[in-house]
């Protein structure tokens, strides 16, 4: 029987929208869209794409740490970007820095806006804990 492990930052949005930051079912961890927020759930760096991307990756690392996983176990990611063409180069550079020589499947979507005013990036992913760390 598979066990389910839910991860929460315990921020208001999780209760307001009724979701988990991540949920583990068996060997897979499904990570909800991560964004640039602090411990209280407040958006950091409104409108600053590079700073938001760095903080979003830091928040993803918190989830990886919770599950004892590494970036090398991320098998796919979906990135939602405001002003895709303007931010494409910064996204590519940050992605290479974050993953190093690991190459997960990746989808990048350019969108008009995200949930919070000033939010310009959101990233979700799937982690396979059976893969070598």
46-73, pLDDT tens digit by residue? 999 999 999 999 999 999 999 999 999 9
β-sheet bridge partners, residue 52: none
Q: Which domain holds residue 122?
A: 4-128
CATH number at residue 92: 3.30.1330.40
Interatomic CA distance for residues 119 and 71, integer angstroms:
24
50 domain-assigned? yes
Interatomic CA distance for residues 65 and 63, integer angstroms:
5
Residue 114: the pLDDT is: 96
The backbone torsions φ and ψ at residue 72, rounded to the nearest 5 degrees and listed phi first, read -65, -10
Say how many C-beta atoms besides its own lie within 10 A of residue 127's C-beta: 26
Residue 2: the pLDDT is: 60
Interatomic CA distance for residues 100 and 13, integer angstroms:
32
Interatomic CA distance for residues 12 and 18, integer angstroms:
10
Interatomic CA distance for residues 4 and 46, integer angstroms:
34
38-48: average pLDDT = 93
pLDDT at residue 1 greater than cutoff 70: no
5-32: average pLDDT = 93
pLDDT in tens, 70-94: 999 999 999 999 999 999 999 999 9
pLDDT at residue 41 greater than cutoff 80: yes
Distance of CA 111 to the CA centre of its chain: 16
Say how many C-beta atoms besides its own lie within 10 A of residue 93's C-beta: 12
Residue 3: the pLDDT is: 64
- Quote the DSSP letter at residue 73: G
Domain count, the chain: 1
Distance of CA 11 to the CA centre of its chain: 16
133 domain-assigned? no
21 domain-assigned? yes
């Amino acid at each position: 029987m598979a066990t389910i492990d839910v991860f929460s930052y315990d921020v208001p949005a999780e209760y307001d929208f009724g979701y988990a930051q991540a949920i583990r079912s068996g060997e897979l961890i499904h990570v909800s869209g991560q964004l640039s927020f602090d411990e209280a759930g407040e958006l950091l760096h409104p409108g600053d794409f590079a700073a938001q991307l760095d903080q979003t990756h830091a928040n993803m690392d918190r989830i990886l740490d919770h599950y004892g996983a590494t970036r090398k176990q991320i098998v796919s990611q979906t990135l939602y970007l405001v002003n895709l063409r303007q931010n494409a180069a910064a996204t590519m550079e940050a992605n290479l820095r974050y993953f190093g020589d690991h190459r997960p499947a990746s989808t990048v979507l350019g969108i008009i806006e995200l949930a919070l005013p000033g939010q310009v990036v959101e990233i979700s992913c799937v982690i396979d804990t059976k893969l070598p760390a």
